[in-house]
Structures are given as C-alpha cells and as structure tokens.
C-alpha cells in the first residue's frame, strides 16, 4: 500500500467552507481506480486541524489522484484558506495488505 497522511491547518473562519469543499474530493477519490481509503479526519481538540489519510494500491494510483478534476478543483478552491501549506508524509502500508482489505 502507498499511504500518505496529509496534515491540514485551516483558518478558523474557513472551517465550515473547508468541510463542504472537501466532501466532493473525498467522494471522487474513493471511486478512483487503485484507491483503498480516503479518510478525512477533524481534530476534536482543534477543529481547524484536519488529516487526510490516503491509501492507494501503488504509487502510480496515488500520483493519478493528483491529476483528477475533483482533486484539482478542491486544491484551487481551498488554497487561500490554509494557515500554512499542507504537509504530506509518506508511509508504507503494512497491514492490512491490499488483498486482506478485500481488493
């Protein structure tokens, strides 16, 4: 599995708009070939902080995500809402393996 955990810090005045804007990106992403998970998490302690947990079967599938219309629209729409640039951290997914996850 090719996993990226993306840390996002949104300006307080844009939190509701961010949540609304990321839904279509999530919905499109989970339908992409090679996508295993695309979870959006919001911090309970600081609602301006989000994590996107993105798991793909391989690097090619993850890279293809960056070319999709839903991702590009979301990226452009939320660009000015960030406190700081998004930070993606790459991980190798060990368990469950893709075939254990039903793929």
C-alpha Rg value of the chain to the nearest Å: 14
- pTM, whole model, 2 decimals? 0.90
Read off the pLDDT of residues 41-98 as tens digits, 9 standing for 90 and up: 999 999 999 999 999 999 999 999 999 999 999 999 999 999 999 999 999 888 887 5
Q: Can you list the domains of the chain with their CATH numbers?
A: 2-92 (3.30.70.100)
Give CA–CA dist 103/34, Å, rounded: 9
Closest CA to 52 of 40, 60, 64, 42: 40
Give CA–CA dist 66/64, Å, rounded: 5
């Amino acid at each position: 599995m090719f996993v990226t955990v993306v840390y996002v810090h949104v300006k307080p005045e844009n939190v509701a708009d961010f949540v609304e804007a990321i839904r279509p990106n999530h919905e499109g992403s989970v339908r992409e070939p090679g996508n295993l998970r695309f979870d959006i998490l919001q911090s309970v302690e600081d609602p301006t902080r989000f994590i996107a947990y993105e798991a793909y079967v391989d690097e090619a599938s993850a890279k293809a995500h960056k070319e999709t219309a839903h991702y590009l629209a979301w990226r452009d729409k939320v660009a000015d809402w960030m406190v700081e640039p998004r930070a993606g951290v790459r991980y190798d997914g060990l368990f469950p393996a893709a075939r254990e996850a039903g793929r």
